[in-house]
Structures are given as structure tokens and as C-alpha cells.
Structure 1
Amino acid sequence: MKSLFTFLLIGLVRVVSAQEQEYTYSNGVFNFEDHKPQKVFTDWARVRQSPDVKAPVSDSLPSNQQVLVLQKEPVALQLGERAANWYKVSYQKNGETKDGYIWGGNLAIGYRNKDGYDFLFGISKTIDRTDKQFNQVYKQNIAAIRAIQGNRLVSEVTFDTGSAESLSYATFTIESNHKLKEVLFTLKASVSGEACGIPGYDQYILFKDQKLIALPQLMNVGDADVYYHDEKFIFPNDKGGIPNAFILKMEEMERDDQDREKKKRSSKTYVWDGNGFTLK
């Protein structure tokens, strides 16, 4: 089944350019509203005097710096599988209010605060992956969750989020501890596309002892009534859950040439010991 997922991803590969073009369409996850606060995601984000990658740099801002979006600029920049508009922003630094232009790909696509920690969700880069079975190279976006306390990076985890077509929508939430031993709470980051056949990804991350621990990634994809693949977790506090374990449930449906529906189901149980998980 892994090769099928890879084949789906390879089928979504598109040729991209690192050049700035006015007709570049930004990924939906980087669509930030005017007059709303956002946060810098990357280690450092350059502030430029105009919305152009060649414009002079007037400042640089660290990760977790809050900015206020003033205006979305029409021009977009594409780097790898990430495409985002430029934004005019204002921010506070050394007791002064300043402004300038930041590329949207440097901003967090979601952020949360709990128990004195800031959690940032963003897309950090695009890499090439090679599928040996099909002897093809495809693009893969790498996302990250950062836990920050004050100005200090406490923990960080990375995970795949597919190609650009999977970056139409994103959500980032904090959930309960799901009754897992010594876990303070879980974070859930999701991305998805807007067309049939575009994979969506759910990434759960446990937070304990100032450490982020990524669970196996969930992938969901469907093509109208012809095919779907669905994955989800059953936690201890869910119906059918078991103590200190989480169950990965998979269901897949495909219609054959005679319109007959064929379904497959499987499950895996992961045991949680308070520090990590193992496949039972």
C-alpha cells in the first residue's frame, strides 16, 4: 500500500520555479487576513523595504515575533513547492513601531499558546524524495511544529505535508491528553487540498516534559465515489479505546469495472509507556 501512496504523490508532481512571477498563485495556507496578528515561523525573517526578493533588507525578525498584517500585496514568490504573497506588516521592536514587507512563507500558518508555551506550525522547506520502485523524484514539503517558551526554542518536530496541491487548507489545534500517561496535551496539525485525488495529512504530536513527540502520520485521500483511503486514531478516551495505547484504524474502498464496491480494513495498536510508543 505504501507504493500506492507514493504513486499518488508522484502523480501530483509539478514543475516549479524559484523565480518571482506576478502570475504565481499562492498556496491557500499562506493566505493571511489584513489587520490580523501573525507570527514569524522561520528562525529569522527578513523585512524588506518593498515586496521584492531583491529589495533592500531593513530588518530581520526572530521566530515567534508577532507582527500585524497591514496589507496583502498582489505579487507572490514561489520557492520550491511553497508559494506565498508578500505582506506589509508592522511590529514592535526596541520600543518602536516599525513596518516593512515579509514573504508569507516565513509566517506561521497556525499558532497556539498553552501553559506558558507558544506552539508554531509552519512549512519550512521543500525537498526532493526518490521513489526507488518507480525510479522517479518528487517534491515533498516539510512542515514543523515548534514549542517556544519566552525566546527559547524548547522542542521541534518535522513531518511531510505532500506537494503544493495539499496546501489549500490548514488547521492547528490543541486537544486534551487523551488519557495517555504523563502527556500534558496533544497538538494536531492538518493540511488538505481542494480537489479529488489530493491527499490530506493529519499529524498528531504529544507534549510531555517539554518535548514534542510526533505520532505516525495519518493520510486521507478520495476520488468521488470511486476510491477513498481513510486513516484515524482511536485514543484511550475515545469509544473503543484501550488504556495507554492508541489504535490506528484504516479503511479503504475501491469500485471495480462492474461498479462493485470493495472495502479493506486494518488496524495497528501502539502501546504508550509514558515516554514513547511501540507497535504491539
Structure 2
Amino acid sequence: MRTLFAILCLAFTVAAHAQDDDTRYSDFRSWGLYPGDTPIERYIFADTAYVRISPDTKQPPLDTLFAGDNIQVAKVEKQALTIRGMQGPWLAVYYTKNGSQKTGYIWQGLVSCMPLRRGDIKYVYAPERKFDSTIVADGRKHKLSYFLMKLKVVQNGQIIAKASFATPDDESANWSEAKIMSGMGLTNVQQILVFTFSGEACGIPTMYHYLAFTKNNQLVQLPGKMTVGDAGVYYHDENFTFPNEKNGKPDMIFWNSKTEESNEKKLDKNGEPILEVTEKKSRAYTWDGTNLKVTEVKK
């Protein structure tokens, strides 16, 4: 089944790039920046970002902003810039510097995706660059493209933790969102951050990336999960059980998956094929709250 999903993901990637040929700035679709009458709140993602007086690098910087600084995006400009292999537009922004509200231009790659905060801590994330990887599926080698996502934890203007993770550069990266969970009963974990990437359409995987933020300000990547389905044809779902949930155990994370496929020989009352469970899998992971490690339990 893993081979099947690898082939499906490959097909989604090829389709995505074929579609992106007609889409401007496809590398930046995960940001979800579509300003209307109301400016969109974002953070500065780069450690240091220069604000320009015009949407180019011809003029000296107007101001300097830092990771976690608040900005409001008013407009996506037509002018573009390519950095680290990603082509993206300049943004017209509002920001506050030394108590005064100002306007200027910043390249989108220096700006965060969805803003996320808890108290005085800001979680600042965005794609940092792209890279390729090779997998073997159906007896052949295939090159797949990924985004290297970077997460920065900023408290009172200082970066106190950083981490990276990869997510496919396919239609599952058409938008992203993030949320903050509690430590879910894991020892020495104050919060778990979940980053979701999806295309919100049939047959397109939704990817979930989990990172633990510990009480001593460390970021640790936890196992991730995926869901994908095509109405009436198949459905694959993955779920976690954490220690503070029903059937949870101390410092254990349980992963379970279920795959359903249509059986054309069995129809419901409307004459549609019935989905039957064709595969179930489970894994268990131990969490070491002292050494901050997550390890899969070998069966």
C-alpha cells in the first residue's frame, strides 16, 4: 500500500507542476496571501528583513525588521524577485517602527505563513527553500520536489528555538494552516504544534506535521500523518492517540491507519459501491521527556 501511495503522490506532483505552468508564483501558494479590502496580518519570517521604498532592490533599505515583527500585507505587487530558487512577488505592507506607522515593500519570501502565537511567544513558519529527492516506485526511480519548511520560536523579539521539516511540493501544498495543542500529556512538553498542508480536493493528500515545544524551549519533530481519498473509490486515514486521550498511556504515542477501497460487487441502496476496509496498520512510539527523543517501538 505504501508503494501505491508513493505512485499516487507522484501522479499528484506531475499534475501539480503541469497546472503550475500557468500560475504565477506557484512556489508561494502555501502562504495564502490574497489581500482584499482588509490587510492581512503576518510576521516577519527572515532573521533580518529590509523594508524598501519601492518593490525592488535598487534603492537603499528604508527600515530593518526582525523575525516575529508584526506587519500587515495590503497588496501583492506585480514585480517579482527570485531567491533560493523561489520566485515570488513584492508585498506592499504596513508596519510600526519606533512608535510610528509606516508603509513600504518587502519580498514575500521574508514573510511568514499563517500567524500563530500563545502569550508572548510567536511561532513563525514559512518555506525556506526547495529541494529534490529520489524515490523508487513501481521499479523505477522518480524525482520528487519538496519544500524545506522552517519554524522559528520568537519570544520578546528573540529567536529562542528553530526547527525544519519537509513537505511535498505538490497539490497538497496549495494552502497551509497551523494550530497549537497542549502538551497532550507528554512529559516536559508544554505545547504541540501542528502544521497542515492540503489542496482541499478529492485525491489530494492532506499532510500533518507535528513538532513538540518542550518546557526547556527545544523543538522536537514528532511522527506525522496523512489522509487522502477519492469519493466512492478509496479512503486512507491516519490518527494518533496521545497520553491524555482515551486509551492513551504515559509517554506513548499510538499511530493507527485504515484504508478503505470500493467493492463494485457490493452496492448500497443507491447503487453505489460500498467502501470496505482493506488494510489496517498500527505503530507505537515512546517519548523520552529527559533526552527529548521519540522512538518507534519495534514489534
TM-score, shorter chain, exceeding 0.5: yes
Matched residue, 1:42: 46
Does 2:220 match 1:199?
no
Matched residue, 1:62: 66
Matched residue, 2:270: none
- Which 10-residue stretch deviates more, 196-205 or 66-75? 66-75
Match of 1:98 among 99, 102, 108: 102
Match of 1:123 among 120, 127, 131: 127
CA contact (8 A) 2:256 2:280 kept: yes
Instruction: Determine the C-alpha separation between the residues in 2 that align with 1:194 and 1:228.
Output: 14
Residue by residue over 1:54-96, the C-alpha shift from the partner in whole angstroms, topping out at 9 and shown as x without a partner, is 6545344322121122233356667789675532102223454
Matched residue, 1:277: 294
Match of 1:245 among 235, 252, 259: 252
1:199 Cα deviation from its structure 2 partner? 1.4
Instruction: Determine the C-alpha separation between the residues in 1 that align with 2:126 and 2:152.
Output: 9
Matched residue, 1:268: 283
Structure 1 residues 165 and 79: CA distance shift in structure 2, 3 A: farther
Give ranges in structure 1 of 5+ residues lacking alignment.
none
Matches within 5 A, 1:200-215: 200-208=206-214, 209-215=216-222
Match of 2:29 among 20, 27, 30: 27
Letter in 2 for 1:122: A
Match of 2:155 among 125, 146, 149: 149
1:136 Cα deviation from its structure 2 partner? 2.0
Q: TM-score, normalised by structure 1?
A: 0.84
Residue by residue over 1:116-135, the C-alpha shift from the partner in whole angstroms, topping out at 9 and shown as x without a partner, is 32211222221111124532
Does 2:243 match 1:236?
yes
* Residue identity (%): 29
Residue by residue over 1:145-172, the C-alpha shift from the partner in whole angstroms, topping out at 9 and shown as x without a partner, is 2112233322222112212422333221
Instruction: Determine the C-alpha separation between the residues in 2 that align with 1:187 and 1:43.
Output: 21
- Which 10-residue stretch deviates more, 37-46 or 92-101? 92-101
Structure 1 SS opposite 2:76 = strand
Structure 1 residues 181 and 62: CA distance shift in structure 2, 3 A: same
CA contact (8 A) 1:27 1:84 kept: no
Q: TM-score, normalised by structure 2?
A: 0.79
Structure 1 residues 77 and 251: CA distance shift in structure 2, 3 A: farther
Match of 1:140 among 136, 146, 150: 146
Residue by residue over 1:244-263, the C-alpha shift from the partner in whole angstroms, topping out at 9 and shown as x without a partner, is 21101111112356556342
Structure 1 residues 51 and 82: CA distance shift in structure 2, 3 A: same
Structure 1 residues 8 and 22: CA distance shift in structure 2, 3 A: closer
Residue by residue over 1:23-46, the C-alpha shift from the partner in whole angstroms, topping out at 9 and shown as x without a partner, is 556615332543343101123334
Structure 1 residues 22 and 213: CA distance shift in structure 2, 3 A: closer
Letter in 2 for 1:277: V
Matches within 5 A, 1:79-94: 85-94=89-98
Residue by residue over 1:210-265, the C-alpha shift from the partner in whole angstroms, topping out at 9 and shown as x without a partner, is 00111111111112221222111111222222222110111111235655634211
User: Which entry has the higher C-alpha Rg, 1 or 2?
Assistant: 2
CA contact (8 A) 1:9 1:163 kept: no
Q: CA RMSD in A?
A: 3.1
